[in-house]
Structures are given as C-alpha cells and as structure tokens.
Structure 1
C-alpha cells in the first residue's frame, strides 16, 4: 500500500474524511448564514460574487464531496477523501515553493486544542528550511465579538503558531488557547508587521479567520477547513485563498499528524 493509500485509509478510519462528525443540519445553517452575509460565517472574507444558498451548496459539493441535493437535510456529512488528498498535494506544493525561496511565513489557528500540533510541525520544518516564522504583535490585545458579547483576548504564539488566549489567562505559553473564527488576530498580526517595516509573510498558513482574513488582504494563504465553514472554499473559488484542505476539524489532535507528515514528504521537507 502506497503513502497516499495509507493516508486515505487513515482519513476514513479517523473520521477526518469519509463519513464525518459534522451534521448536515449544521452545514446547511452555515450556508444560509453565508448567503445572508452574516459576518460570523464570512470570517473575514468579503465575497465578490452573488453567493446564494444553492450556489454555496453546489460549491461545497464540488470542493468537498458533500451531497449536492438540497433535499438532504439531516444525517452526517461526507467528505471525499480523494479531494482531501488532492488539496494536501496542492498544499505541499505551496510549502515547497515557500521553502525554496525562503519566504517569511505566518501561521495561526482558531482551533488550538485540535490543530496546534499540525501547524507547529509545519512551522518547525519551514524554519529548518530557512524560512522566517513570524510572530508579530505577540501579547497584543484583541477584542472579539462573540455570541456572548465582546471578549478580550491576547495574541500569543506557541511553537511559532499564532492563537488567542483569554485576557485572564495566568499561564501564557502553557494553556492551549481559545477557539475562535475571528479574522481580527491575523489582521492585528499583519498590521503590526507592516507598522514595524516588515518582513511581511509570503505565505500564511492557518484556518478560520487566519486563512480568510489574510487572503482577503491579498496574502497567499492555505489551510484546513470543515464542511460547515464555507468561507475558505468561497475564497478559494474567487482567488482570495490559495488552497483549502477539506477535513473534519474536530477530531483528536494526534489524528492530524499523519497529514502533516504526508505534506512534508510531498514537499521534500521531512526532517
């Protein structure tokens, strides 16, 4: 069994692709909110096209493999593992290009509990290849509007990966950080890098608001996205986001490490 076949089997076995934990009802709700231009679902993207609910569903069927039938309204979603593998190959191509030219990179996640390890290993490999792993605006306050009201967090970096911590956190560098879809952390980081005279990233790697917020500002961006987050896929369709890997973003953190190894092998960056 080849490398791709082994990873395909892992994707399905771990619930990263194939039948996944995301509910159809949750996906359809997100597609409706995206069509209504709800900022909680746009996560930093300002779409150019007229994306109605049916157009979003058709796109997600094409990019992820979910059912294109609007009459399918319940049950678990499905991600086509072949689409996941193809996107991982494209991601590897971008990382190889970044390493070849030793461009500065910025990494960040809104899912630190699950995805920090995935991005941290990429950060280590890119750093070893000669890329500067940027950490601008460390410690800066970020005010994020949530369904519970305004929440103030602090931008922090763990193993080169940006994340947001609660402002009352007493142990920075130890706690995993907060779950957020907001594009504000990457906007704060990029603004701080620009104000300092650079360097600016040649590639941003992340998810949620990190990938959409950076792509909307014109930075090459790549990352992971679940099927209930249509914004990165719309951003890719419109050319704002470079590559999006469809994958369930809520499984065990260790289950993402085979994806990291696959990408680094494809990019010839294995340490």
Structure 2
C-alpha cells in the first residue's frame, strides 16, 4: 500500500503539487474571466454568490494553496500537497461510499490524453464492486463552441470513461480524445439517461465540465482541478461539487497511477 508520505513525495517529484507547470498568469486570467461570468471558465457552474477576483484569489489560496498576494502576478503557480492529500482522501471516501451502496456511477474526462488511465482504474474497481458504470449515448454528436468556432464532436467511452473525439476520428475505443472544458457532453449523457428512463448516476466522477455540469444539475460530483479551474472550487464552496482535488491536470499520464492506487486502497477497492 502506498503510504501518505510516499504519495506526498510523488506529488512533489512529478510536479502534481508544489510548483506546477500552470503559470500564475494563466490562473489570474481564469479568475478574471470567472468573475466576468465567462462560460469558457464557469464551465457549467452558475454561481449563486457574487465572486470578484479578490474573492476567487482567497478561495483558491484556501483550497489549492496558491499565493493569496494579488501583487504576485508571474511565475509558476503553487499547489499545497497537504491540500491535495486531504482532498484525495475525501475523494476516496466518496468512492468507497458509492461502492458500498452499489450505486450507478458516471465517469468522464475533458483531459483524456492525461487522465483517462486514472479514471479507467476507478471505473474497473467500481464495476468489480457491483456498481453499474453508465455508458449512454455512445456516438452522439455534440456541438461545442471552441476558439475556432462551433465544432461537432462524437461522444465515446474507453474502459467505461466518457470522452469526446475530434471530428473525423474513425476508430472507437482508441485511447485518445479531445481536450474540452464544456459541460455539454455531460448534459447530453444525462439527457440520454432520462430519455431512456434511467438509471441516473448517484455519483459523477471527472473533471472540467463533467463535474461542474453534473453538479449544477443536482448530481453528486467529485473531480480533479488545476489552479486555473476555479469553477470546481466555487462549486465546492457553494455546495454543488462534493470534492474538488487540487493538482496539475496535465502532467504525464503515468504520473497519475500512484494516485489511483492510493485512492482505491483508501476506498477499500483494491483488487
């Protein structure tokens, strides 16, 4: 079993926490856009509270460990590994509860190149524990606004994890997909489940719009978020996201595998 100390060391060595690749400039830009209610950054959360840039900076300092100094405007951003470990434990506890109750679960990612393996390990373990891993609306077309205009993507699943594919990608099941922050894929999946008469997920696991879009609609949602993703932490503060885990979401995919082992061990889901 991976100890907490060993995982802390891994978080720092892999730059999942500590000084991360996400820049201070990127994070502050996201806070400005979120304060302006830009949908590219709210990614499915409709905030109930008035969040200005100072409020968001304080929140992210509290939840992630970034500097709360508004005069600090450049350089790498920082995530406190202790906050990551605490949130991972809460994340694992939610998974353990879902497995104990054998509730239907939905997993989806907007970072398939990096995080697919992490979520797929969870999906395998939850399925083995008796949870129904939901995979509706396979192949459904979803129109998403990008900086290049509106593009049509196709919904797909790899090892029980939902993602969207670039237009023209022919091979279903390939472990590639598009990077997206949009909440539209999870809305399409939930709509398909309602149309089919259920069952609906008792827990949604993922990142970006998968978590925010589901949480906004009242589904329990947990996920991972970087320092430039304030929406998940706002959702957590307002009670629509159960757990947001602060970490760099764009390092090498194999660097997340120790986190999978740690989470499954804590959730008593190791096989």
Other-structure match for 1:69: 69
Other-structure match for 2:141: 141
Question: 1:20-35, aligned counterparts within 5 Å?
Answer: 20-35=20-35
Contact persistence 2:112–2:175 (CA under 8 A): no
Counterpart secondary structure, 1:8: helix
Q: Aligned pairs, how many?
A: 271
Counterpart secondary structure, 1:236: helix
Other-structure match for 2:126: 126
Distance 2:175 2:232 in 1: 27
Counterpart secondary structure, 1:20: strand
Give the ranges of 4+ consecutive aligned residues of structure 1 lying more than 3 Å apart after TM superposition: none
Residue 175 of structure 1, CA deviation: 4.8
Question: 1:255-270, aligned counterparts within 5 Å?
Answer: 255-270=255-270
Distance 1:75 1:152 in 2: 36
Residue 173 of structure 1, CA deviation: 1.3
Distance 2:188 2:133 in 1: 16
Question: 1:80-159, aligned counterparts within 5 Å?
Answer: 80-159=80-159
Distance 2:148 2:172 in 1: 23
Counterpart secondary structure, 1:234: helix
- When residues 175 and 131 of structure 1 are mapped into structure 2, their CA distance, relative to the original with a 3 A threshold, is closer
Distance 2:225 2:248 in 1: 7
Q: Give the TM-score normalised by the residue count of structure 2.
A: 0.99
Provide, for residues 178-229 of structure 1, a one-character-per-residue CA deviation record: whole Å limited to 9, x for no partner. Answer: 0000000000000100110000000000000000000000000001000001
**Unaligned stretches of 5+ in structure 2?**
none
**Unaligned stretches of 5+ in structure 1?**
none
